[in-house]
A and B are shown apart, each in its own frame.
Chain A
Amino acid sequence: MMHELPVSAYTSQEWFDLEQKHIFSKTWQFAGLVEDVANPGDYVSVQAGLNNIFIVKGRDHRLRAFHNMCRHRGTQLLRAVGKAQKAITCPYHDWTYNLEGKLVSIPKKEEEFPDLCDKELHDCGLNLHEASVDIFKGMLFVHPEKNAPNIMEFFGEVAPYLGPHIPEELIEYKEKKQAPFYTKEINANWKIIVENYIDQYHLAHLHEGTLNMYDHAKAEFGWAGSHYHFYEPLVPAYLADIKNASPYPLMDKMPDDKMGAYVPWLFPNIGITESESAWNTFHAIPLAPDRTLVVIRSKTMNVSEWEYTKQYTKSMASSVWKTMGNKGKYEGEASDPMASGDFMLEDVYACEQQQKSLSSPLFSVGAQAKKGEFAVSKFQSVVKEWIENHQD
């Protein structure tokens, strides 16, 4: 057992399928950032569990969500992202829908579909299946049901624990155009990755030289609704020189007495890392029982290039980074994740090493840290509840 769940929950196709059906197809799913659908006619489509859903902005600037599936033969209608659509035409037989999801034209209607003739097309029961979309903390979420449960009932309880950041005022940091800040396929079950993210116990150990600018001893964390919340302040030495040492311009909304990192996990599969100088989404997308795609998008202050350069120069010169934030746990080549001095590589390494052991007949979780790992079993029990409550 892994506390609440059997080991097979992390290795078997059967569990993977159950989760796809009962968790990822029944919860609000992360679908991007509000600016992804900026103008009327813009759309994005996302895979949310078993459903492919697209979001389109109407002329009234309100978002609509539909299942991305033609009602004729079920063909997927839209590709990942697009601009300024006035209508949606299926590539297969050119059935066309308006932005309200109503069927508006069928080629050779009279000849080929005489039965549909006496009715208006939008009354034929062949409009796109509606889904739901809403915005929470600058992020888009979709839900496959037309009358989805209120998104605030799902996230409301954790909202007060999130950082003071206003993501829609920040701008996205990209190294390449059109590509997110970071994507990586990790050879581990998605829950291993979540459990690593919400494990406070490991911070001072796995990341002893990479996250030591944060004061783990002062971390405040807990559970709210179905979600994990976490906050920890900066260590005094970093705080004392923060104006110089910060790698990016400081968040203007960050209060001086609560300068630190907010790192909540929103059930089931989206984390946020809200720090003194950056705001990141951490999306864990299950690909297979032992494979997960992690996509990180990063936002920073909306200030000039010049401000960034100035801050970068000051940060490089700060003595803070001589002792913090970039020293690997082991000595060795930079290509060794444990010597890289990069906390992400350390986490990926730890997750993959744990996944490898799951097939061992002797595998078991020996003990659980009462405080530092409390969230791990809590998370597992939420997963278990969703599976049990929704299984017929």
Chain B
Amino acid sequence: MSEFHQLKVLEVIKETEDSTSISFKVPQELYETFNYKPGQYLTLRFTINTEDVRRSYSLCSSPVIGEPLCIGVKRVKDGLVSNHINNNIKVGDLVEVMKPDGRFFADVKKENYKTYYLFSAGSGITPILSILKTVLFTEEHSYVHMIYGNRSEDSIMFKNTLDKLQENYKERFILEYTLSRPKSSWSDLWKTSKEQTYRKGRVDTAAINWFLEEYPPYAQNAEYYICGPGTMIENTTKALKSIDVPDERIFIESFGGSNLKDTTEAFENAQLIAKLDGETINTIIPKGKTVLRTLIDAGKEPPYSCEAGVCSTCRCKIKSGKVHMKINLALTDQEVEQGYILSCQSIPLSNQVEVVYT
């Protein structure tokens, strides 16, 4: 299931001071496998300091315009993989990549007549850009209203691409940038390019109320796509719901990595009994490790991909004992009630935990 393929790096572009985009060459025999929907992500595997690590990165390319698969990776402070990619990946490298996956995507169809509201901030632009391009190219009647938040002008990823799209699709594409810490205005004096205006502030309730009032939907079948840091997603969702946007019209992608400090203490050296691929594994969960990591460290091959509590690939069912999930952005309340857990996020709360992978 979690099969990796070696893809060759075609191009590496430094997008901003702290982000890079990487495109891959997909050999013909894997075209089918690497087919994707706009909004889906790839999972990359690296071995760094002998540890097997996987991270998910949303595709920012569009599946409909014949461009190579492309991801955009932004450095996370002290982050293992994001910095490895930004520092070391070069053209010609072979990278292990799992086929595209994810439930965050737009169902783009030529005949659609919709208004797409796209809310993004920071590196959350990646899946949004894929949706944006695909909709503009495919749905000639649809509209896109997008707001993109960043710290300052320099940190806007894919700005050239976005500005070009805005130029080419003026009648159907509204784009507003909002900056939380814009550079002081005197530095702009040196700019020769045409005047560009930015809204000041974050993508928050005030920004969203302003945006929807300023740009009401034209096509009434409106959908709302959100991707960005945790707080941005939370604020945007809350703002939309508070003005009665129905749940079924809101689509969210989280990259994980909550900044909230989770202080739940694990039960030290709890016993783990795991049924995996017909084998029963009996081991101890070392301090600070998750159920998933314990099994990987024991040389086993449990299924997983994002290791961020987002994709649910690592799902298993708890038979006895108790665990705590640090992040759960994948399972429904109902699934949790039925005993399902994300093993990549689970630390033990009892002296013994028994789980089954199905």
Using a CB–CB cutoff of 8 Å, the interface residues on chain A facing chain B are: 58-63, 99-100, 132-135, 150-153, 156
A135 and B222 alpha carbons, distance in the complex (Å): 12
Indicate if B219 sits at the interface (CB-CB under 8 A): yes
Q: Is B112 engaged at the interface, CB distance under 8 Å to the other chain?
A: yes
Q: In the complex the two chains form, is A152's CB within 8 Å of B217's CB?
A: no
Checking B112, B218, B243 against A58 with a beta-carbon cut-off of 8 angstroms, the contacting residue is: B243
Interface residues on B, range: 10 to 19
Residue-wise, chain B 128-148 has the 8 Å CB interface mask toward A (1 for contact) of 000000000000010000000
| Residue positions of B touching A, CB distance < 8 A | 111-113, 141, 212-213, 216-222, 240, 243-246
Contact A134 B113 (CB under 8 A): yes
B244 near A100: Cβ-Cβ < 8 Å? yes
Residues from chain B with a CB closer than 8 A to the CB of A58 are 243-244
Which residues of B lie under 8 Å from residue A151 when comparing CB positions?
Answer: 113
In the bound complex, residues from chain A placing their C-beta under 8 Å from that of B141 are 152, 156
A152 with B244: in contact, given A60-B212, A134-B220 (CB under 8 Å)? no
Which residue in B111, B213, B243, B245 is a CB contact (below 8 Å) of A152? B111
Main secondary structure of the interface of B (DSSP, over half): loop
Complex-state Cα separation, A100 to B216, whole angstroms: 18
Q: Given A134-B220, A135-B220, A152-B113, 18 more contacts at CB 8 Å?
A: A60-B222, A60-B245, A61-B212, A61-B213, A61-B216, A62-B222, A134-B113, A134-B221, A135-B218, A135-B219, A150-B111, A150-B112, A150-B221, A152-B111, A152-B141, A152-B219, A153-B111, A156-B111
Give A133 to B221 CA distance when docked, in angstroms: 9
Provide the residues of chain B in CB contact with A61, threshold 8 Å: 212-213, 216-217
Which of A63, A152, A156 counts the most B-chain CB atoms under 10 A from its CB? A152
Identity of the chain A residue whose Cβ is nearest the Cβ of B113 in the assembled complex: A152
Known: A61-B213, A150-B112. A99 touches B220 (CB 8 A): no
CA distance A96 to B243 in the complex (A): 19
Closest chain B residue, CB of each to CB of A98? B244
Bound-state Cα–Cα, A61 to B112, Å: 20
Question: Bound state CA distance, A58 and B213, in angstroms?
Answer: 11
A62→B240 contact, CB < 8 A: no
Residues from chain A with Cβ under 8 Å of B217 in the complex = 61-62
CA distance A58 to B141 in the complex (A): 23
CB-based closest 8 A-B pairs:
A61-B216, A152-B113, A59-B243, A60-B243, A152-B141, A134-B220, A60-B245, A58-B244
In Å, the complex CA distance between A250 and B221 comes to 34
Q: How far is the CB of B113 from chain A (nearest CB, A)?
A: 4
**Smallest CB gap from B213: residue in A:** A61
How far is the CB of A371 from the nearest CB of chain B, in Å? 31
A132 neighbours in B (Cβ, 8 Å): 220
Task: Find chain B residues with CB under 8 A from A99 CB.
Answer: 244
Contacts of B222 in A (CB 8 A): 60, 62
Contact A60 B111 (CB under 8 A): no
> CA separation between A186 and B244, bound complex, in Å?
44
Can you show 30 pairs from A to B with CB atoms below 8 A apart? A58-B243, A58-B244, A59-B243, A60-B222, A60-B240, A60-B244, A60-B245, A61-B212, A61-B213, A61-B216, A61-B217, A62-B217, A62-B220, A62-B245, A63-B220, A99-B244, A100-B244, A132-B220, A133-B220, A134-B219, A134-B220, A134-B221, A135-B219, A135-B220, A150-B112, A150-B113, A150-B221, A152-B113, A152-B141, A156-B141
